[in-house]
Amino acid sequence: MTIGFIGIGIMGRPMSKNLINAGYKLVVYDKFAKFDDIVNLGAEGASSNKEVTSKSDIIITMLPNSPHVKEAILGENGVLEGSKSGQIVVDMSSIAPAAAKEVGAALKAKGVEFLDAPVSGGEPKAIDGTLAIMVGGNEKAFNTVKPILEKMGSSVVLVGDLGAGNVTKLANQIIVALNIAAVSEAFVLATKAGVDPAKVFDAIKGGLAGSTVMNAKVPMILDGNFEPGFRIELHQKDLQNALDTGHSINVPLPLTANVMETVQALVVDGMAANDHSAIVRFYEKLAKVEVRKQ
């Protein structure tokens, strides 16, 4: 079995490496990023998305947003042009559910199954192969690719029909963003009140307020380390997709809208490429204090 992998970025690079380490044959391509290191590990390099598809049984895409996925699959020299009946395309990007359905319909007309399978966990979990993968689509196709997905994630769950994977990811991203915002607000309060934020973290992380988000992001905040595992601009994209989806089905998302404006302010302030833990910097600016180790 040959796997085509399109999108060798922050997430796609370690994910493709894990597939190679698991013994899969890969054909890879990225329009914008170099992928010589993946070829050096044994993958075959391609010159287009179409070529990747023509040489593969299963095609995985890992791209920034809906327009990128639509271009890679539906555009000139894209996946659709190179596809044949019986193939499976798995999009592991985080895109709008409506876009996933649009792409899926185009591929279905050519006899190609499409699964939307966004991930959660950021670069660290992509590297160690423990991503949470939420999948929407045909159950038979899911069962075919599940062993492959399990080489990249520790949790692989079919959540419903096509589009359900990205709805689940939007729910995940709402919770993560609001959690980081709550952590930021709380730790700015504690710091401005004169309490050591590191000790606050030690005191509350084992209680009800504790969370995976807190455990991952507070150490970064305390170190002033905002190198991206998941960039603010990508979370901004996810929150916009959540708001658009909510509006389309008449679901108000007031807390999401609030955090979206916080994220927008950080982008305007030049922090788009920072890790989303930098949400704390919005609150630090308001309170004129920094949450750091004392």
Closest C-alpha among 35, 112, 105, 45 to residue 79? 112
Helix orientation angle between 254-268 and 279-287, rounded to the nearest 10 degrees: 80
- Active-site entry in 17, 125, 169, 237: 169
| 231, β-bridge pairs | 275
What's the farthest any 2 CA atoms get from each other in the chain?
A: 65
Q: Are 161 and 233 in contact (CB under 8 A)?
A: no
Terminal C-alpha separation, the chain: 54
Amino acid at 84: K
DSSP-derived 3-state class of residue 160: strand
**Is 169 one of the catalytic residues?**
yes
Active-site annotation, residues: 169
